[in-house]
Amino acid sequence: MSVNLNPLDYYRLPWNYADNAISWLEPTTVCNLRCEGCYRDFDSQQHKSLEEVRAELELFRKLRKSDCISIAGGDPLVYPHIVELVGIIRSMGWKPIINTNGIALDEPLLRKLKEAGVYGFTLHVDSTQRRPDTPATTETELNDLRLKFARMLSEAGNIACSFNATVSEKTLHEVPALVEWARQHADLVQTMVFILFRSPGLTGDFDNYARGEKIEMGEVYKESEWGGEKVLMAQDVVNTIREADPAYEPCAFLNGTANPASFKWLLANRTVFAGRTVGYMSPLMMELIQTANHLFTGKYLSYASPRATSLGKATALLGSLFDRASRKILFTILKQAVSRPASALRTAHMQSIMIIQPVNFEADGRQDMCDSCPDITVHEGKLVWSCRLEELRKYGDFVTMVPKSCSSRGLPGEAR
């Protein structure tokens, strides 16, 4: 029987609107792929000038302290100034992280990006895509392509490697296989991220309004049958992972804006030694890492380099001084090294598993967004949610939801 998560058992990440580990930059809306569930208007594709992007970075520097800048889009590798942009971000004191489908990534471009100072990649690879670089159609089949990218980054030297996969009711059963694949390649893959699918048809029985006018959400976001009929929540993914790995245990989270008990970003961090998971990081240890990073660098930590995540033994040793979970990890490593002396000198790698639960809706129509959202971007000189940017572009405002039973009686304050 699965056990429901209690937010009071985990560390609430201290990120906030002004002091956040991540900020989100979109230099282009141009993309060389079309993914189911994408929240960008595929018919409106354009590159921003480098001057426009510089201005957005200056706004981030003025209003928001961050560890890294996630460069997204569109696909940033088709942005004509991507190498120069990476250099600018690095020179301004951030870690440049490229969020890409990887289709345009080859070794010559990777070398240029490495020279410019790229810190890491988050590669979006999943079965919502019709990719020209593989015939694979399932998440498990796509692991060969994921491994190709992971090896490419590893060979380039100390570049953080993360993978995103959108998860729907139809692919939820494959999540344990991806978690297992990531464990097998903990020396190459630092993070595995599962993003739960959303589409207008899954929002519920609401009418939608923008600036007081009734609108159809299908005008903003593409509907897709790929998502199935069920709205997945973080707990669903946790239950599925635990079927294959009963020891799986998160340590930290971000809650929702409407529901403080919801898990919008749910983070687990495991240590893998000699091919085995030897334990999961405790909430206390994650709190100490975030606090220490902020104390010594002035920023909360987001992405960690392969060199840093290979210090699993040292982290467990240091943590064992005050943390029971770290002592257990250290004891398990020592026990395994004694029973298998050949493994004693092997590296213990730390690896993160993240579940992101996008907007969901309360019965009264309130939208439960990610409180302290790490994916805040810039629009017309303001910081806004990147996942709902198309609403601003189309209507100049965010869409609000009204239960149809209320909507039929008119909006609050509306003359009838």
Q: Is 363 exposed, middle or buried (0-12, 13-18, 19+ CB in 10 A)?
A: exposed
Contact (Cβ atoms closer than 8 angstroms) between residue 146 and residue 181: yes
Identify the CATH number of the domain in which residue 263 sits.
3.20.20
What average pLDDT is seen over the chain? 93
Tell me, what's the pLDDT at 344?
87
Token pair 């989100």 is found at: 24
Kindly state whether residue 4 falls inside one of the protein's structural domains: no
Kindly state whether residue 40 falls inside one of the protein's structural domains: yes
Kindly state whether residue 213 falls inside one of the protein's structural domains: yes
Kindly state whether residue 141 falls inside one of the protein's structural domains: yes
Tell me, what's the pLDDT at 413?
45
Tell me, what's the pLDDT at 90?
98
Distance CA 59, CA 295 (A): 24
Phi (first) and psi of residue 78, to 5 degrees: -95, 0
Tell me, what's the pLDDT at 225?
78
Tell me, what's the pLDDT at 320?
96
Token pair 């097998």 is found at: 184
pTM for this prediction: 0.94
Kindly state whether residue 9 falls inside one of the protein's structural domains: no
Tell me, what's the pLDDT at 26?
96
Kindly state whether residue 415 falls inside one of the protein's structural domains: no
Query: Can you say whether residue 226 is alpha, beta or left, with left for phi > 0 and alpha for psi between -120 and 50 degrees?
Result: alpha
Kindly state whether residue 11 falls inside one of the protein's structural domains: no
Which pLDDT tens digit goes with each residue over 37-86? 778 876 778 999 999 999 999 999 999 999 999 999 999 999 999 999 99
If one counts the domains in the chain, the total is: 1
CA 301 to chain centre: 14
C-alpha separations of 173 from 59, 67, 177, 237, 351 in Å: 42, 34, 8, 9, 21
Q: CA 404, 409, 413: angle at the middle one, nearest 5?
A: 115
Kindly state whether residue 7 falls inside one of the protein's structural domains: no
* Residue type at position 55: A
Mean pLDDT by 10 residues, the chain (416 residues): 87 97 96 84 85 98 98 96 98 98 97 98 94 94 98 97 95 96 98 91 82 86 80 96 95 97 97 96 98 98 97 97 97 93 92 96 91 96 93 91 70 45
Determine the 3-state secondary structure of 313 from DSSP.
helix
How is residue 324 written in tokens?
Answer: 């029971």
Rg (CA), the chain: 21
Residues 6+ apart with CB under 8 A from 371: 254, 255, 256, 257, 260, 264
Query: Strand 382-385 vs strand 191-196: parallel, antiparallel, or unpaired?
Result: unpaired
Tell me, what's the pLDDT at 412?
47
The domain of 267 spans 18-406
User: What count of Cα atoms within 13 Å lies in the side-chain half-sphere of residue 381?
Assistant: 0
